[in-house]
Amino acid sequence: MVPTKLRVAVIGAGAAGLCAARHILASSETFAPPVVFESSDRLGGTWIYTEEKEDATGRIIHSSMYRDLRTNLPKESMAFPDFPFDPSLPSFLHHSDVLAYLDSYAEQSGVCDHIRFQWQVEEVRPIQRDSGSLDAWEITATVQHPESTQQVTEHFDAIMVCTGHYTVPFIPPIPGLDTFQGRLLHSHSYRYPEPFANQSVVLVGAGPSGVDLALQLSNVAAQVVLSHKRQHVCGLPKDVIQVPPLLKVEQKTVVFTDGSKMPADVLILCTGYKYSFPFLDLAQLGLQETDYGVGPLYQHLLPPQHPSLFLIGLCQQICPFPHFYCQVLFALAVLSGRCALPSVTDMEAEVQRQLGLHLKNGGLARYFLKMREQQWSYMEDLAHLAGFPPVPPTVQQIYEDTHASRLCNVSTYRSRNYRLLGPSAWELVQDGVRI
Ligand code: FAD
């Protein structure tokens, strides 16, 4: 009897979903062509820039991209290990170059034919099979036709959830926020600096968005204040005032934890995003919401009780595309039987062990998925377990160089240009010449 090929559903056609689809297609001896569900009408997810932030019904439009964004990682660390960016581009790219890259990644992998645009997944349910077999899955999706919508249900052997986590704004519980009489927004809704000309703007949070917005707004706003808990952000223009975290809001005045106060026309919350899986019944999967998002997930990736569902790309402070690549190849090795998983009990115990270690090393529970320097051994472990070549050392070397140079100066680090000389060698260049 010819064994039937596994049918995998991929939810989302952003970078992670495209990567999943590409490698499923490339493993056609084991897998049927993927079915990629994409709720929007275009591939690219985060990298699709639109001026609108909500659609006509008030529903948040997916992307948090802003007009003038340039990448905070150089293309040499950012690329999928099996698909380099155009070598003629500078290292730090405008967002439109990344979207073009994803377009050609999808095109050249043959993935486009397998994406169902305007199919929004509403529900994913496990179907128990005989003991010893992995669960099957039932997906219900709403299909948008020009004049109507329709609900469709289909069955799959495995699911890759690739829905991203930079869409649903996290609004911290700041006392008095609802009394604010100026303009209040989240960085998700920021598009360009012009509407803030001559305004007094307070930015809350000094993550990548907070710092970027401070740089952009300092050119047009009357005053830019960056309120944050980091030590000091080096390299911001002198007219950006750095102050301690926000304590409370009193109508038009913002008060900081050191007791200082300031009037503000605009308050922009650069306070990050929430994980959201409205189509999953977490309890049914043996999962729950945790301080850090959702768990327990073995290898930050799969629910031990249902190891044919994979949540790709939940970790933060990573090189996203290489990270997705490793997670996808690991997931496919598990599904094809090339990589055996420990027992459910052992996987759950392993997650607890790792969380315990993180806490013992002084980490806060809510930062369990923030990987930074741990991302390298994590990707190496996945490669080792699943038997694929690890990502080239230059990914780490150039990432670390960028990280150090961003710490020194957030205004200038994007002027660096790297040139790859091999899997573990690179140099800095200017106008094509080594410096
Ligand atoms: P997304 O790109 O969010 O894609 C998810 C897709 O799933 C979307 O297309 C969405 O429509 C679809 N979807 C969601 N729900 C459903 C559903 N129920 N049914 C069907 N489809 C659904 N990374 C870098 O490497 N370098 C950078 O410089 C960088 N800068 C960034 C700047 C900003 C402002 C932001 C927000 C992120 C940045 N990132 C950067 C991180 C970036 O998000 C990742 O690189 C990556 O693009 C995320 O891909 P993803 O596929 O996980 O998610």
Do residues 115 and 38 make contact, with C-beta atoms less than 8 angstroms apart?
yes
pLDDT at residue number 400? 97
Q: Is the pLDDT of residue 3 over 80?
A: no
The reported pTM is: 0.96
Determine which residue's CA is closest to atom 9 belonging to ligand 1.
45
Mean pLDDT of 102-120: 97
pLDDT at residue number 56? 63
Mean pLDDT of the chain: 95
Determine which residue's CA is closest to atom 33 belonging to ligand 1.
65
pLDDT at residue number 81? 97
pLDDT band for 51, please (50, 70, 90 cuts): confident
Q: 216-242: buried (b, 16+ CB within 10 Å) or exposed (e) per residue?
A: bbbebbebbbbbbeeeebeebeeebeb
Å from CA of 330 to ligand 1 middle: 20
pLDDT tens digits, one per residue of 62-93:
689 999 999 999 999 999 999 999 999 999 99
User: What single letter denotes the amino acid at residue 182?
Assistant: G
pLDDT band for 431, please (50, 70, 90 cuts): confident
Å from CA of 260 to ligand 1 middle: 37
In angstroms, rounded to a whole number, what is the distance separating the alpha carbons of residues 13 and 106?
A: 9
Å from CA of 272 to ligand 1 middle: 14
CB atoms near residue 323 (< 10 Å) = 24
Q: Which residue stretches of 2-118 are H helix?
A: 15-26, 75-78, 95-109
Q: Is the pLDDT of residue 106 over 70?
A: yes
Indicate the top mutation candidate among 102, 166, 406 to test ligand 1's pocket, ranked by most ligand atoms within 8 A of CB.
166
Å from CA of 166 to ligand 1 middle: 6
Mean pLDDT of 238-266: 96
pLDDT band for 134, please (50, 70, 90 cuts): confident
Lowest mean pLDDT among 55-64, 208-217, 420-429: 55-64
More confident residue, 230 or 171: 171
Do residues 160 and 331 make contact, with C-beta atoms less than 8 angstroms apart?
yes
Do residues 297 and 344 make contact, with C-beta atoms less than 8 angstroms apart?
no
β-bridge pairing 253-256 and 261-263: antiparallel
Å from CA of 45 to ligand 1 middle: 5
Å from CA of 256 to ligand 1 middle: 33
428: which strand partners? 418
Mean pLDDT of 136-140: 97
pLDDT band for 57, please (50, 70, 90 cuts): low
Do residues 355 and 407 make contact, with C-beta atoms less than 8 angstroms apart?
no
List all residues whose CB is within 6 A of at least one atom of ligand 1: 11-17, 37-40, 45-47, 62, 64-65, 69, 71-73, 78, 120-121, 162-164, 166, 209, 279, 313, 320-321
pLDDT band for 145, please (50, 70, 90 cuts): confident
Share of the chain above pLDDT 70, in %: 97
E-strand ranges in 3-157 read: 8-11, 35-38, 115-117, 119-127, 136-144, 149-156
Q: Report the largest interatomic distance among the alpha carbons of the chain, rounded to a whole angstrom.
A: 76
Measured from the Cα of 166, ligand 1's closest atom is 36
pLDDT band for 404, please (50, 70, 90 cuts): very high
Q: How many CA atoms lie within 13 A of 330 on its CB side?
A: 27
Q: Minimal CA–CA distance to 280: which of 163, 199, 369? A: 163
Determine which residue's CA is closest to atom 46 belonging to ligand 1.
15
Indicate the top mutation candidate among 46, 66, 215 to test ligand 1's pocket, ranked by most ligand atoms within 8 A of CB.
46
pLDDT at residue number 68? 96
Share of the chain above pLDDT 90, in %: 91
Based on its alpha-carbon atoms, the radius of gyration of the chain, rounded to whole angstroms, reads 23
Determine which residue's CA is closest to atom 27 belonging to ligand 1.
71
Q: Is the pLDDT of residue 61 over 80?
A: no
pLDDT tens digits, one per residue of 338-372:
999 999 999 999 999 999 999 999 999 999 999 99
In angstroms, rounded to a whole number, what is the distance separating the alpha carbons of residues 389 and 81?
A: 10
Determine which residue's CA is closest to atom 34 belonging to ligand 1.
65
Determine which residue's CA is closest to atom 23 belonging to ligand 1.
320
Measured from the Cα of 37, ligand 1's closest atom is 20
Structure tokens of 423? 């899997």
CA distances from 418 to 89, 430, 432 (A): 11, 9, 10
Measured from the Cα of 15, ligand 1's closest atom is 51
185: which strand partners? 268
- Cβ within 8 Å of residue 311, ≥6 positions away: 161, 277, 294, 297, 301, 302
Lowest mean pLDDT among 29-38, 61-70, 214-223: 61-70
pLDDT band for 60, please (50, 70, 90 cuts): low
